Amino acid sequence: MEEILNKIRARNPNQPEFLQAVEEVLTSIADFVEKNPQYKRANIIERIVEPDRVFIFRVPWTTDDGDVMVNRGFRVEFNNAIGPYKGGLRFHPTVNLSVIKFLGFEQIFKNALTTLPLGGGKGGSDFDPKGRSDDEVMRFCQNFMNELYKYLGPDIDVPAGDIGVGAREIGFLFGQYKKLTGRFNGVLTGKGLNWGGSLIRPEATGYGSVYFAEEMLMTRGETLEGKVCLVSGSGNVAQYTVEKIIQLGGKVVTLSDSSGFIYDPAGIDDEKLEYVKELKNVRRGRIKEYADEYKVEYTPANSDLDYNPMWAIKADCAFPSATQNEINKKDAENLVKNGVYVISEGANMPTTPEGVDIFLKAKVLYGPGKAANAGGVSVSGLEMSQNSQHLSWTREEVDNKLRGIMVAIHEQCRKYGMEEDGFCNYVNGANIAGFKKVADSMLDQGVV
Ligand code: NDP
């Protein structure tokens, strides 16, 4: 495995996030591959780390002042062994090839866990929607789609949202796709309810992450009732994570954005959550305004510190729901030291490898992103099913299916992640279960 890893490192220089994701998966599956020589014979590892194809394109657009801007667009079609490429689009200034490849690689295994026929892909741009008018965002989305549409199709590649891409952006992207192709089909998920979207899609990632936490807790005969929870981020995933925790009787005391975090020891209730939704989704303001409104503590982000004080607050559960590598070794140590024993990752790869080691050594209930946040893509898969049948399921139907899928993902993790002393290593479980399904499909389909 080390030999293969060296080859991958040499072939993908300057792609730290991608290499981080690959190293984690390969370390997890090393023993499994050793015991199953068919994968080695077919050189599955070297094949699975190489995307089927990568598109990188220029996206020119015009500001309201008439200035011409240029951003870079990406789409990585990573693996379609079990279904059409599926994975979100991220608009954020930190987007580059490494970030998109890490997300696309993770997506292969996550999608395999969902029990649905979905391949892995990811895309996005280094465009920053923050501070841009709706018209500017629309022009950017239209120009982004002017190139991307060539590679999409309901049975080929079906993008969705991610950081910086919500209902507004999906609307503009779908409008332009339709204009260019003349087709109305399920080529994007996360669509508006009036035009092919699914109920529960906006809620799905956050709800799913909380369902996953409940499943982990149930293995210890516990529930979320009365648990104090730390949530990071304040976007789509964070908002619906808070909503479901409140419904299940837990208490959320933090939220954040890239400028800082709030600490509300009384807990975020339904009314305060509505305020956050309005603040973030309509006014597009900063989380500091929550602290001003409810007179609670606000701590600005401080890059001089080698830890995030938010993760040092006493609590039972943590739901990182902002971005990659937001929990480092010291944060993980602080979390464990201050009583956190359930971590359910709404974000993708929010914990560094050193942080993951701390969680595994402490034998806490640690649900990695590719399992815990798979609810979003799962309901995207359900949106595709509804689109192809030209019907809409009720809220209750979709929520029940989501819950069932999260239970199934949890079971697969336990099947492949149980250790001799009864501890479940969900990282190994998720990686092995996801890998096995994709690798077996690749074996069936020959060397292509
Ligand atoms: P949003 O854009 O709705 O929200 C992102 C939140 O994270 C914002 O509060 C943002 O703050 C914060 N954030 C983003 N980048 C950084 C950064 N570099 N440092 C600190 N804070 C940051 O995105 P989502 O809620 O959709 O996504 C959050 C995470 O969940 C991502 O990792 C995404 O990949 C993952 N995910 C999302 C799914 C979905 O269905 N949406 C599905 C599965 C995973 P600010 O506004 O200041 O940037």
What domains, with CATH codes, occur in the chain?
Answer: 2-185 (3.40.50.10860), 204-372 (3.40.50.720)
Residues 354-380, mean pLDDT to the nearest whole number: 98
Contact 114, 189 (CB under 8 A): no
CB atoms under 10 Å from CB of 38, counted, come to 11
Smallest CA separation from ligand 1 atom 32, residue: 347
As to burial, measured by CB atoms within 10 angstroms (0-12 exposed, 13-18 middle, 19+ buried), residue 225 is: exposed
pLDDT at site 333 = 98
Contact 74, 145 (CB under 8 A): no
Ligand 1 atom nearest to 190, measured from its CA = 40
The two tokens of residue 352 are 């560094």
Sequence-ordered list of residues with C-beta below 8 angstroms from that of 191, at least 6 positions apart, any chain? 170, 171, 174, 197, 198, 383
Contact 72, 147 (CB under 8 A): no
Helical pair 375-389 and 201-218, crossing angle rounded to 10 deg: 130
Ligand 1 atom nearest to 103, measured from its CA = 34
Ligand 1 atom nearest to 374, measured from its CA = 43
Contact 430, 413 (CB under 8 A): yes
Residues 335-341, mean pLDDT to the nearest whole number: 98
Cβ–ligand 1 distance for 237 under 6 Å, the answer: yes
Residue 263 has pLDDT above 90, yes or no: yes
Residues 278-304, mean pLDDT to the nearest whole number: 97
Smallest CA separation from ligand 1 atom 20, residue: 258
Contact 119, 85 (CB under 8 A): yes
For the segment 27-41, what is each residue's pLDDT rounded down to a tens digit?
A: 999 999 999 999 999
pLDDT at site 388 = 95
As to burial, measured by CB atoms within 10 angstroms (0-12 exposed, 13-18 middle, 19+ buried), residue 234 is: buried
Kind plus residue range of the DSSP H or E element containing 419: none
Helices and strands: H and E segment counts in the chain: 17, 13
For the segment 119-143, what is each residue's pLDDT rounded down to a tens digit?
A: 999 999 999 999 999 999 999 999 9
Smallest CA separation from ligand 1 atom 21, residue: 258
Best substitution site from 111, 114, 211, 237 to test ligand 1's pocket, by max atoms within 8 Å of Cβ? 237
Distance 232 CA to ligand 1 centre (A): 9
Task: Determine the Cα–Cα distance for residues 63 and 55; give it in Å rounded to an integer.
Answer: 25
Cβ–ligand 1 distance for 79 under 6 Å, the answer: no
The two tokens of residue 224 are 């979320």
| 3-state class (DSSP) for residue 228 | strand
For the segment 181-237, what is each residue's pLDDT rounded down to a tens digit?
A: 999 999 999 999 999 999 999 999 999 999 999 999 999 999 999 999 999 999 999
Ligand 1 atom nearest to 350, measured from its CA = 32
In 81-152, which residue ranges form alpha helices assigned H by DSSP?
A: 97-113, 134-148
- Nearest Cα to Cα of residue 24 among 422, 345, 333, 407: 345
Cβ–ligand 1 distance for 342 under 6 Å, the answer: no
Cβ–ligand 1 distance for 321 under 6 Å, the answer: yes
Where are any strands of DSSP class E within 30-141?
Answer: 53-62, 68-79, 85-91, 120-125
As to burial, measured by CB atoms within 10 angstroms (0-12 exposed, 13-18 middle, 19+ buried), residue 134 is: exposed
Cβ–ligand 1 distance for 129 under 6 Å, the answer: no
Cβ–ligand 1 distance for 358 under 6 Å, the answer: no
Ligand 1 atom nearest to 92, measured from its CA = 15
How long, in residues, is the chain? 448
pLDDT at site 136 = 98
The active-site residue, picked from 101, 122, 227, 437, is 122
C-alpha distance from residue 51 to each of 54, 55, 100, 430 (Å): 7, 11, 11, 20
Give 54's strand partners: 76
Taking only Cα atoms into account, the Rg of the chain, rounded to an integer number of angstroms, comes to 21
Smallest CA separation from ligand 1 atom 44, residue: 347
Token match 């996206």: residue? 59
Best substitution site from 114, 162, 279 to test ligand 1's pocket, by max atoms within 8 Å of Cβ? 162
- Nearest Cα to Cα of residue 44 among 58, 33, 55, 28: 33
- Nearest Cα to Cα of residue 51 among 105, 91, 114: 105
Sequence-ordered list of residues with C-beta below 8 angstroms from that of 215, at least 6 positions apart, any chain? 406, 407, 410
Residue 348 has pLDDT above 90, yes or no: yes
What is the pLDDT confidence band of residue 1, given thresholds at 50, 70 and 90?
confident
366: left (phi over 0), alpha (psi -120 to 50) or beta: beta
Cβ–ligand 1 distance for 322 under 6 Å, the answer: yes
Q: Which amino acid is at 363?
A: K
Residue 91 has pLDDT above 90, yes or no: yes
Distance 128 CA to ligand 1 centre (A): 13
Smallest CA separation from ligand 1 atom 31, residue: 347
Active site residue 150: no
Give 367's strand partners: 344
Task: Determine the Cα–Cα distance for residues 329 and 355; give it in Å rounded to an integer.
Answer: 4
Contact 340, 318 (CB under 8 A): yes
Q: Which amino acid is at 53?
A: R
